[in-house]
Amino acid sequence: MMRPFKTRSTPIALAVAAALSVPLGAHAQSAAELKARITELEQALAQTQSQLKEAKANEAASQEQLASASKAPVGPSFDILGGTLKVGGAIRANYAIGDYGDYTGGPSRATRDGGNFTLDTYRINLDYANNTNGVIGKLEYRFYNGYHFLHTGWLGYNFDDGGQIQVGVNRVPFGPGPYGVSQSWFFDQHYYVGLADDMDLGVKYTKPIGNWTVDAAYYISDEGTGAGTSRDSARYSYDVVNKTGNGYEEQNQVNLRAIYHFKDGAVKTDLGASLMYGLLNSQGSQDDGDRWAASAHMVNKWNNFTLATQLTRYSFDVDKDQPLGTDDLVQFGAFDFPNTVAAKAWIPAVSLSYYHETPSIAWLDYVIPYVEYSSIVKDKSGFNNSDLVTLGAAWGHGGWYIYTEMALANGNEFVGGEATYGDRLGANADDQWQKRFNVNLGYYF
């Protein structure tokens, strides 16, 4: 005996059936009307497929944001002034071993060849958001061994059209993302010349326009120095610092950045350009100076792979009568130590990483292996390039975020202690490759 054959109706089939199940009468609906109805349904189907494609893209973007957010889990929250204040922070410890001799006092956080384990950072974070009136704000304060400073501190507003404004100490819009091309604890060489993850005091406006994201900012000065032993270098971001009291100070900086998001196709691509121009105000007898930087950058995402590339040109116009006694070097500083930087150079940088979730491993949520290279290619004849190569991985589980890295450098102040400190981003006269294996253990709450 044959069983009745049954079909399973799909949502599209039901929609078609419902659309066609109108009373026709004997011959009420003409062939032309039926054809028009079919055309209308085909258009609706095409629109539905387009929306489904966009939803999948948004889902992928949300997963990336979730992975990034897992680096800083949310702590306790409080209802204040009609909004929510979230309190968080982090505590990090660091182990390093590499080419280090006797203790020099440099900011490498590695003191001798046998390796050492130290407290790296303690920080407090406050995040405020009021969904009713659009007011937002962020505050971050950091403590290191012997010095501390304000990292972030701004108030802002979310506009109904998707735009956002931030006023205070905020991240300068330059490069492909908040940390440049890098996934690593060391960052790339852009960071060490103030062109990645740089915090300054001013106002920034961000606006999505179709497939574009546009940033415009004005900064009255750098973020200022905190409390430490140096005169002007107790800070997180690398800036031009006034080490002697009669050097230069950053003022009146303008930043523009535009990024176009190619959302279609197998490889999602963000293609952008960044511009910066600012003044250097003389605090001594030398003439005032200025500085500028221009950068082209791209981020390609295919499945779980991310390839980020950047090429930057920067120039600092300083007077040779400045305290350094030359116009080929600029006085920089951060982490409570000053150092010199070449006045004019190109910076190529590239990073390749892979995001891998690990649901079968109870103690690990995901791992991100990466390899990165960047270099400061200097204009001055006789100045050696400053190269940085990093091979490592970031490991995430709950509030834990751990970096394990091997860094090789010929010109980075944080890698190796056997070359002259303070000159590695400047003339780099030693021209010596050094290594450092680093483990950074961070708990974010």
The tens digit of pLDDT for each residue in 60-92 reads 344 444 344 445 555 788 898 889 999 999 999
- Model pLDDT, residue 121: 94
Distance CA 94, CA 414 (A): 13
Whole-prediction pTM: 0.83
- Model pLDDT, residue 170: 98
Q: What DSSP assignment string belongs to 100-112?
A: --S----TTS--S
- Model pLDDT, residue 421: 87
What rounded mean pLDDT belongs to the chain? 87
- Model pLDDT, residue 356: 98
Q: Is residue 9's pLDDT more than 90?
A: no
Residue 114's pLDDT band (cuts 50, 70, 90): low
Helix (H, G, I), strand (E, B) or coil at 267: coil
Q: In the chain, pLDDT over 70 holds for what percent of residues?
A: 81
Q: Is residue 20's pLDDT more than 70?
A: no
Third-level CATH fold of 76-444:
Porin (2.40.160)
- Model pLDDT, residue 163: 97
Element (H, E) at 137: strand 135-144
CA dihedral 46, 52, 57, 60 (to 10 degrees): -160
Angle between helices 31-69 and 11-20 (to 10 degrees): 150
- Model pLDDT, residue 42: 67
Q: Report in angstroms the alpha-carbon separations of 318 from 248, 288, 416.
A: 9, 7, 29
Q: Is residue 43's pLDDT more than 50?
A: yes
Q: Is the dihedral of CA 62, 67, 68, 72 positive or negative?
A: positive
The tens digit of pLDDT for each residue in 186-224 reads 999 999 999 999 999 999 999 999 999 999 999 999 999
- What are the DSSP E strand ranges found in 172-247? 199-209, 212-222, 239-240
- Model pLDDT, residue 57: 41
* Stretch 10-19: mean pLDDT: 41
Token pair in block for residue 12: 């599209």
Distance CA 330, CA 337 (A): 14
Token pair in block for residue 382: 């006789």
* Stretch 144-154: mean pLDDT: 96
The tens digit of pLDDT for each residue in 299-320 reads 999 999 999 999 999 999 999 9
- Model pLDDT, residue 218: 98
* Stretch 325-331: mean pLDDT: 98
Q: Lowest mean pLDDT: which of 15-29, 72-86, 225-239, 285-299?
A: 15-29
Enter the DSSP assignment of 21.
-
- What are the DSSP E strand ranges found in 355-420? 356-357, 366-378, 386-397, 400-410
* Stretch 8-28: mean pLDDT: 42
Residues ≥6 apart with Cβ < 8 Å to 378: 342, 344, 345, 384, 385, 386
Q: Is residue 44's pLDDT more than 70?
A: no
Residues ≥6 apart with Cβ < 8 Å to 251: 220, 221, 278, 279, 280, 281
Q: Which amino acid is at 420?
A: T
381 φ/ψ angles, rounded to the nearest 5 degrees: -65, 130
Distance CA 193, CA 85 (A): 34
Q: In the chain, pLDDT over 90 holds for what percent of residues?
A: 73
Per domain, the residue ranges of the chain are 76-444
Element (H, E) at 43: helix 31-69
Residue 285's region, left for phi above 0, alpha for psi from -120 to 50, else beta, is alpha
